[in-house]
Every structure is written in structure tokens, then in C-alpha cells.
């Protein structure tokens, strides 16, 4: 008997299996690792066949289509074997999109930085305006789970490059590309262009009646658009280019959105935005353009741009202790995110860097580190690359192998008026389960110090 094979039993895999069962497709879930007890219980309760700790050869043999977890590289022999046998290998979002009602509206958002903030902000704007909206994908629940169990009229989908690699006919109404900076290059033969082209897949199904929201100043996007014609509506946002659909007018310190459809032009002072920093000006402009494509009025747009609360672990204020502010930016797992976090600071910084390096070039943040940082704390198993980059350039540098050790150093190095900023520029898997675990440990231990 042939069946749909789901590789990976996390949120996206289990969500895909639940949807497959609902639409009557025979399905099996296979995970090389150990399943989370919550997902194991779900599969057992629904009677969906699964295995863990292995990919059984006989399970691989009879699959007629494969949905793979974003974490599984295309280069793995078992994936290459499916491809050679002509078996379709897709992402969970590609699968879920097959079962969307025709009147559903989808905004798909990607970028090396700012995805989660923008997805949350767009969803907040839509909900403020009374829309039946939900976010999904690389944040929150899988799209497949929502389609199966909790359908909505509007979906705001966060998409990583890994998820985009498995899409072919997925057709958003609005696609957003915030920026492209080097990240995950180990998955793309250490070639930036391959990674960037993966991001551009978000435009592959756009046609007349669809819209593409993008950052005008991104060099790769600009070059790509010069070389490829698109039938969709182009909606650039910019910090400096007059004529963009959304523009930051630096002389007035105002964000301005051009008139769209039947909506008049809209402006809001930078000081009124819910989030600070240049990167959040970009996120706000992108969010506003998406919302207006879906018809959100200026009244609701202005309210939601002002009262939005940022997601955890992204430049998140934790506490002030002895005049020192502690900020959790654990979600900064690449160089550009750390650059943005540093740029947003207005007082001296004790910066916590380090973790599992993904091919970082620390010279890209050297200038902002030298101009903003009083001291550096390298928190990781192997800090040699960081030392090579910054030794002799910053007077105070410490190493830490745990969050407790890290915060002990931070208390010794920080002075009243400073910021202690956790913005690692690295993945977290050397010392922590994930970036959320890293951020939660930072917050909990900072709050425990404050209580003492």
C-alpha cells in the first residue's frame, strides 16, 4: 500500500499528518530521533502510524510522496534517493496550501532578520482591524494543523529558507522579503547566492493580482529584480529612496506610506512606533504595506503600529539592577541581528556573544562593537574565533561556559547606566536546547538576581 510519508515528528510533521488524516490520505510519520511526548501522544490518540529512533527501509520504499521537516537537508542520501526515484519531496506548507479554501488570503514573510517580529506585527494589525487572522509556519503552530483544526480567513506565514526550498505551487497573495544577509550557509554549499536564491523562491508563484513587498536597499533583491520581470505589483520600502511605497523621511523623523487602492496616504512619527531601532522602522513599513494590501484602514493601522508588543527574545527588556538594564536578544542567531540590536542601544554595552558559529564574519560588526561596547563576554564551548576577531580591540573580554558564569561577569563589568545585552550572533546548541532556552535562562537568572 502506498502512503504519504512524513519525515520528522515535530510541529510541522505532526501537523501535516493530522491534515493528511483529515483529508483521507494514508500517512506515516518517521523520525530519526526521539519524539516529544506531546506529539507522540497526539499520534497515538489519532491512530496515525509512527516510528522513532530510525527510518525503516520498508517505510521508505512504499511512500508515494514525502513531506520532510525543514531541519532535514536535501543533501541527505535518503532524500536524494527519493528524488532519483521520482518521488515528490515537499514542505508541510506546500502540502497545507493544497487544502486552503479559494477565498483564503495568505501573506508569506521571509528574510534573514526580522521575520518573527514582522509576522507578529502583521497579525496584530489584522486582528486589531477585526480580521480572522492567524500566524503560523516557522512561528507558532504549523499551517497544516491550523488548516485541519482551526481554519482562518487570513494566514500570516513565517517562512525560513529551508521551508521555501520545499515549496513549488504554494501561492501567497502577498509575499514579503525583508532582507538577505549571510546565514545558514552550511546548508547551501557555503555560497551566499544559493541561500539568496532560496529566499527569492517566495516570489515564484506571484502573478497579476499578487504583491511583492521588499526592501529597496537590499543589493541582492535589487539585482534580482533588474534581471527578472514580474507580473505582480511591486511594493518597495526604503530608508532613503524617494518614490518607494513606504519611506522613512529622516528630516521629519516620520514613516510615510503612499496611497494604496482606495486608502489615502498615511504617516506616523518614528517616536510613536511601538518598537525602536532602524531595523524596526523597516519591519513597521513592511507590516504596514501588507496590512494595506488586505484593506486595513489608516485608523486601525495607526493604532496597531503604536500598541504592538514585541515577541520574546528579541531586544526584550528584562530588568534594571543597580542602574544597569538587562536586555534579552537571544533570537539574534546571526551577525546582522546582533548589528541591529547594538545599533539600537544609546548607552555603553556589555555584550554577550557566542555559541555555535554558523560561518560568521565578525569584521561585519567590528565597527559597531568598538563604538558601542564597554566589554565583551564570550559564552560558548569554543570561543577561539571570537577571540581572534576582538582580542586587543576591546579592553575587557571574559569567557563563560554557563549562564550563571556569564551573569557573574556581567555584574562585575557593567556600570550604572550601561546595558547588558545578550545578542549572541550564534546558534545555541553548544550549551542550550535552543535560543528560547538560552533566553529563558538569561531572563530567569537576571530576575533571580534582582529579587536577591
Binding residues for ATP: 111-117
* Nearest alpha-carbon partner for 304 in 121, 100, 178: 121
Contact between 269 and 254 (Cβ < 8 Å): yes
Binding residue positions: 111-117
Amino acid at each position: 500500500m502506498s502512503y504519504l510519508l512524513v519525515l520528522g515528528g515535530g510541529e510541522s510533521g505532526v501537523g501535516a499528518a493530522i491534515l493528511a488524516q483529515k483529508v483521507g490520505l494514508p500517512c506515516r510519520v518517521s523520525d530519526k530521533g526521539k519524539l516529544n511526548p506531546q506529539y507522540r501522544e497526539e499520534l497515538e490518540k489519532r491512530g496515525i502510524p509512527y516510528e522513532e529512533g530510525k527510518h525503516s527501509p520498508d517505510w521508505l520504499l512504499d511512500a508515494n510522496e514525502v513531506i520532510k521537516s525543514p531541519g532535514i537537508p536535501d543533501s541527505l542520501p535518503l532524500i536524494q534517493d527519493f528524488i532519483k526515484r521520482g518521488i515528490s519531496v515537499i514542505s508541510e506548507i506546500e502540502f497545507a496550501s493544497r487544502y486552503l479554501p479559494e477565498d483564503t488570503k495568505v501573506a508569506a514573510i521571509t528574510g534573514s532578520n526580522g521575520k518573527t517580529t514582522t509576522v507578529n506585527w502583521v497579525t496584530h494589525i489584522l486582528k486589531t482591524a477585526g480580521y480572522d487572522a492567524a500566524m503560523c509556519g516557522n512561528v507558532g503552530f504549523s499551517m497544516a494543523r491550523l488548516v485541519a483544526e482551526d481554519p482562518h480567513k487570513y494566514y500570516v506565514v513565517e517562512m525560513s529558507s529551508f521551508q521555501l526550498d520545499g515549496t513549488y505551487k504554494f501561492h501567497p497573495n502577498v509575499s514579503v522579503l525583508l532582507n538577505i544577509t549571510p546565514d545558514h550557509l552550511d546548508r547551501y554549499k557555503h555560497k551566499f547566492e544559493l541561500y539568496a536564491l532560496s529566499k527569492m523562491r517566495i516570489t515564484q508563484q506571484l502573478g497579476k493580482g499578487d504583491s511583492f513587498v521588499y526592501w529597496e536597499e537590499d543589493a541582492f533583491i535589487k539585482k534580482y529584480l533588474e534581471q527578472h520581470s514580474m507580473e505582480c505589483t511591486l511594493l518597495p520600502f526604503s530608508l532613503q529612496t524617494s518614490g518607494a511605497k513606504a519611506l522613512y523621511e529622516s528630516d521629519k523623523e516620520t514613516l510615510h506610506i503612499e496611497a494604496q487602492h482606495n486608502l489615502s496616504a498615511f504617516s506616523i512619527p518614528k517616536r510613536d512606533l511601538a518598537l525602536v531601532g532602524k531595523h524596526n522602522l523597516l519591519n513597521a513599513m513592511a507590516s504596514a504595506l501588507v496590512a494595506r494590501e488586505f484593506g486595513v484602514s489608516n485608523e486601525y493601522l495607526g493604532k496597531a503600529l503604536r500598541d504592538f508588543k514585541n515577541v520574546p527574545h528579541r531586544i526584550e527588556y528584562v530588568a534594571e539592577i543597580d542602574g544597569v538594564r538587562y536586555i534579552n536578544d537571544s533570537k539574534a542567531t546571526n551577525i546582522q541581528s546582533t548589528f541591529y540590536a547594538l545599533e539600537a542601544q544609546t548607552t555603553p554595552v556589555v555584550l554577550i556573544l557566542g555559541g555555535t558559529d554558523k560561518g560568521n564574519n565578525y569584521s561585519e560588526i567590528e565597527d559597531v562593537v568598538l563604538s558601542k561596547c564597554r566589554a565583551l563576554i564570550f559564552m560558548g564551548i569554543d570561543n577561539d574565533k571570537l577571540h581572534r576577531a576582538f582580542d586587543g580591540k576591546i579592553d575587557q573580554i571574559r569567557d563563560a561556559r554557563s549562564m550563571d558564569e556569564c551573569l557573574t561577569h556581567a555584574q562585575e563589568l557593567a556600570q550604572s547606566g550601561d546595558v547588558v545585552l545578550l545578542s549572541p550572533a550564534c546558534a545555541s546548541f553548544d550549551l542550550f536546547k535552543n535560543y528560547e532556552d538560552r533566553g529563558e535562562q538569561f531572563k530567569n537568572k537576571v530576575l533571580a538576581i534582582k529579587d536577591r
